[in-house]
A and B are shown apart, each in its own frame.
Chain A
Amino acid sequence: MSRSRTPSDAIANALAANRLGVGAIVFFVMSAAAPLTVVAGVVPTGFAATGLLGLPIAFLVVGIVLALFAVGYVAMARQLTNAGAFYAYISRGLGRPAGVGGSWVALIAYNSLQCGAYGAFGAFGGPLVQKYLGVELPWWVLALLMWGLVGVLGVLRVDLNGRVLAILLTLEIAIVLIFDVADLVSPGPEGVSGAALSPDALFAGGVGALLVIAMTGFVGFESSVVFSEESRDPRRTVPTATFVSIAIIAGLYALSSWAMTVAAGPGNIVEMARKDPELPFTLAAERLGGTIADIAAVLLLTSLIAASISFHNTIARYAFALGRERVLPRAFGTTSVRTGAPKVGSIAQTVVGFVVIALYTVMGWDPLVNLFFYGGTFGGFGVLLLTTATSLSVLLFFARNPSGESAWRRVIAPILASAILMVFAVLATANFATLLNVPETHPLRWGLPIAYVVAFILGLVWALILRSSSPGVYASIGLGPQAASAQAGAAPVPPAGVKL
């Protein structure tokens, strides 16, 4: 085990050798963000459902606010040992009971996004299968195919190979940019109109709905901080990767959704999206021919698979962290011996997915609108609420532990982000009927937002029960896997750079 360099250098160097750089983390984030899924799936469905034009400007606004939020978020990540999960921040800021409440909200939100992807795969895959194989498959057959694939890969701990993922992601972004150029080069009846990028479009009524849809496109940005302890330079790598990801997502989605309005014409986009769920492909086929539209349609399916694997793994690891703390049953904290997959969390997610697909099939609900769009935006709404609570937690945490951070990171950025995110959350709740495109009296209009409130309160109550019944478990809420060292009587691992 001898090494040629001086021993201390050898240790630092040996540990640095397999750490992650900015590029690796950005790719990880972007594969969950699934560009083509958002551009070809969320955007047209968003135009159709809300009847609003302002999605492009909403992507830009949400991107700027999330960047502001990320200033304090990545600073606090360095002070946490379980930085990957919103509830860890909430536990340390708003308190452990709120943290458990947040963790349950997160489980619902991520599962909802995951189930949405099954619906999209069924809805978008159907026409493609019919065109090339000549068989008409019900959406749920394809949804179950992807569900099975994701479930098996999850429990076997098979990730898409990093290189495969990088190639797919690059192709996705390339094809989205090709669509954008084609849309802008041959604009629709109103020419290259900036209408969808003007603030007027944002405040045309239903701004809260636009913000939630835009937020849905960003989901996954929060996972960069999982790698705080694994990055080359914790002070720079993760923050850079986070800001780069947010900038790419905001830029790409704003550009693409705007280009779509230009191609269709701002006055027609809503009507056209309502008639044709595959509007981006139709517009591309008119301009570039059918082949490239079909390539894009195939890439949309691989994009959905990649995003599903990513969300599935996130959910399984969320449950694993909670199992390690004993907030969920201990079994969730165990892994498969051979693969290290968090198998119980993985299987639980698979079961949830099956129940949802079965329910939608039996009830005859629409896979695109009722599963993909409702599931996606309900999940996005949950992530918006979690981001808001996390932003407040960053503020409260740094008020108690300044940790040598600058006033901009500790106070100014978190105050601004928290204030704006709270306004967003209120607007989103107020415009929930617009988001779902249902009348104010529809049961889901309040049912879905209240589901989060109920989950949060149940988590809160559970935490209070733990406080009196198992103080050791209560004390380690938010520590994730590090609960093991805390519960063994050892102090939690100190943040990087602090010597005991």
Chain B
Amino acid sequence: MRLADEFFLIAWDTAGQGKPVLHPQGAALGLAGALLGELILGERLTVQGAGLLVLNRVPVEDPLARDVLAQIVAAPEHTDVRTWLAYLAQDAAEGVGARLQDAGLVQRVESRVLFRTRVRYEATEFAKGAWPSLRLTMLLSEHQPMSLPDMLLAALVDAAGLLDHVLFEPEQRAPAREYLTTLTAALPPALRGLAGHVSAAVGSAVMTYRT
């Protein structure tokens, strides 16, 4: 499963209400970070300091990721990671939700309540929808060795403010957080930088009452 898909399934309560468990701005910025993360893992982009650099313009296979890369390539005047996080966050939920629906993992359900359209994402199979979160819980609480995408996923989940939701048992939290700190320190600078920018963007949203 792709990084942003896993982030989506962790951040949305697809087995219940179909809404994000995280405040909307945190969920959106986390997803945007995961979309950029997919392209960094695919060696198309990198993060240097505050900047997002294109390493390789060759399109990727996944349509959503290809679209994201194409937009970044087409706008070379925008080089700030934060600009791209803010921009991608606007449509990230729709985009990743559609990708999950295409993969048959979730069902997008629209309902109209008064004058507002509410969008819910319901898991087609409970186990598949709940698996990414459960897997991350086990990896972190059992201090298991993790792949690079999993380490980035964990770092992004933390950056978005979602870690306490994944570590649902309070006594797991302190040791798992400590383990995550060592993992994050071992991440390549581009991925660590990406997680740092997501965390800073979510923090800014808190400071400016945008959560």
| Contact indicator per residue, chain A 452-481, by CB within 8 Å of chain B (1) or not (0) | 000000000000000000000000000011
Q: Is the CB of A491 within 8 A of B49?
A: yes
Q: A1-B68, A489-B189, A490-B193 are in contact. Are A338 and B203 (CB under 8 A)?
A: no
**Interface flag for B26 (CB, 8 Å):** yes
Interface size class of B (residues with CB under 8 A): 35 or more
Q: Which residue on A lies nearest to B77, using beta carbons?
A: A8
Contact A500 B50 (CB under 8 A): yes
Question: When the two chains form their complex, are residues A490 and B211 in contact, meaning their CB atoms are under 8 A apart?
Answer: no
One of A159, A226, A336, A500 near B49 (C-beta < 8 A): A500
Given the known A-B contacts A338-B22, A493-B50, are A481 and B204 also in contact in the complex, defined by CB atoms under 8 Å? yes
Cβ of A11 under 8 Å from chain B: yes
In the assembled complex, B149 has its CB within 8 A of some CB on chain A: no
User: Contact: A226 with B193, CB < 8 Å?
Assistant: no
| CA distance in complex: A229, B204 (Å) | 9
Are B79 and A335 in contact, CB atoms less than 8 angstroms apart? no
Can you add 6 more A-B contacts, CB < 8 Å, to A1-B71, A313-B209, A490-B47? A8-B78, A226-B208, A229-B204, A489-B193, A490-B196, A491-B49
| Minimum CB distance partner of B98 in chain A | A1
| Interface Cβ pair total, 8 Å cutoff | 142
B23 touches A338 (CB 8 A): yes
B residues near A11, Cβ cutoff 8 Å:
71, 75, 78, 83, 87
Interfacial chain B residues near A335, Cβ < 8 Å? 23, 26, 161, 206, 211
B143 cross-chain contacts in A, Cβ below 8 A: none
Q: List B contacts of A334 (CB < 8 A).
A: 161, 164
Candidate in B80, B159, B165, B204 with the most chain A CB atoms within 10 angstroms: B204
Residue A7 lies at the interface, judged by CB distance under 8 Å to chain B: yes
Which of A122-130, A242-250, A316-324 lies at the binding interface? A316-324
The contact of A488 among B25, B95, B196, by CB within 8 Å, is B196
B159→A484 contact, CB < 8 A: yes
Known: A8-B78, A482-B203, A488-B193. Is A341-B211 also a contact (CB below 8 A)?
yes
Q: Does B197 contact A (CB under 8 A)?
A: yes
Closest A residue, CB atoms, query B177: A330
Residues on A with C-beta less than 8 A from B165 are 337
Contact with A along B82-101 (1 / 0, CB 8 A): 11001100110011000000
